[in-house]
Amino acid sequence: MNMTTADHDVDGRSALSKIWNNREARSVILQIITMALLIGFFAFIISNAVANLAAVGKTFSYDFLSEPASYDINQSLIAYTSRDTHFRAGLVGLINTGLVAACGVVLATILGFILGVLRLSPNYLLNRISYCFIEFTRNVPVLLHILLIHGIMVHSLPHPKVANTEFNIADLFFLSNRGVFAPKPIMQDLLWLTIIAFVIGIAFTVWFKRYAKIIKDETGKIYPVFLIGLAAIIGFPALVFIITGAPVTWDVPTFGRFNFSGGVVLLPEFMALWLALSLYTSAFIAEIVRAGILSVSHGQWEAAGALGIRRGRILNLVIIPQALRVIIPPLTSQYLNLTKNSSLAIAIGYMDVVATIGGISLMQTGKEMETMILVIAIYLAISLLISMFMNWYNKRIKLVER
Could you give the C-alpha distances from 192 to 66, 189, 206, in angstroms and in order?
34, 7, 21
Closest to 374 in 3D by CA, of 389, 356, 390, 387 = 356
Amino acid identity for residue 155 in this structure: H
d(CA 396, CA 186): 39
Amino acid identity for residue 198 in this structure: F
Confidence band of 266 (pLDDT split at 50, 70, 90): confident
Q: Are the beta carbons of 225 and 208 closer than 8 angstroms?
A: yes
Task: Specify the pLDDT at position 50.
Answer: 78
DSSP assignment string, 93-112: HHHHHHHHHHHHHHHHHHHH
Q: Are the beta carbons of 180 and 265 closer than 8 angstroms?
A: yes
Task: Specify the pLDDT at position 1.
Answer: 46
Q: How far is CA 400 from the centre of its chain?
A: 28
- Secondary element (H or E) of residue 83: none
d(CA 255, CA 363): 36
- How much is the mean pLDDT over the chain? 86
Amino acid identity for residue 7 in this structure: D
Q: What percent of the chain has pLDDT over 70?
A: 95
Cα 56–Cα 59–Cα 64 angle in degrees, nearest 5: 120
| pLDDT, tens digit (0-9, with 9 covering 90-100), for 96-130 | 999 999 999 999 999 999 999 999 888 889 999 99
Task: Specify the pLDDT at position 196.
Answer: 92
d(CA 350, CA 187): 28
Closest to 359 in 3D by CA, of 348, 346, 340, 376 = 346
| pLDDT, tens digit (0-9, with 9 covering 90-100), for 182-238 | 888 888 888 888 899 999 999 999 999 888 888 888 887 888 888 888 888 998 889
d(CA 116, CA 286): 4
> Counting Cβ atoms within 10 Å, is residue 320 exposed (0-12), middle (13-18) or buried (19+)?
middle
Residue ranges covered by each domain of the chain: 2-55, 86-163+268-397, 190-239
Cα 185–Cα 188–Cα 99 angle in degrees, nearest 5: 40
Would you call 209 helix, strand, or coil by DSSP? helix
| pLDDT, tens digit (0-9, with 9 covering 90-100), for 15-71 | 677 777 777 877 888 889 999 999 999 888 888 877 887 787 777 788 889 999 888
Confidence band of 11 (pLDDT split at 50, 70, 90): low
Average pLDDT estimate for 387-399 = 84
Give long-range contacts, CB 8 A cutoff, 24+ apart: 53-56: 53/369
The CATH number of domain 86-163+268-397 is 1.10.3720.10: yes
| pLDDT, tens digit (0-9, with 9 covering 90-100), for 125-144 | 999 999 999 999 999 999 99
d(CA 83, CA 86): 9
Confidence band of 298 (pLDDT split at 50, 70, 90): confident
Return all residues near 193 (Cβ < 8 A) that are at least 6 apart: 240, 244
Closest to 64 in 3D by CA, of 380, 373, 375, 357 = 357
Average pLDDT estimate for 78-93 = 90
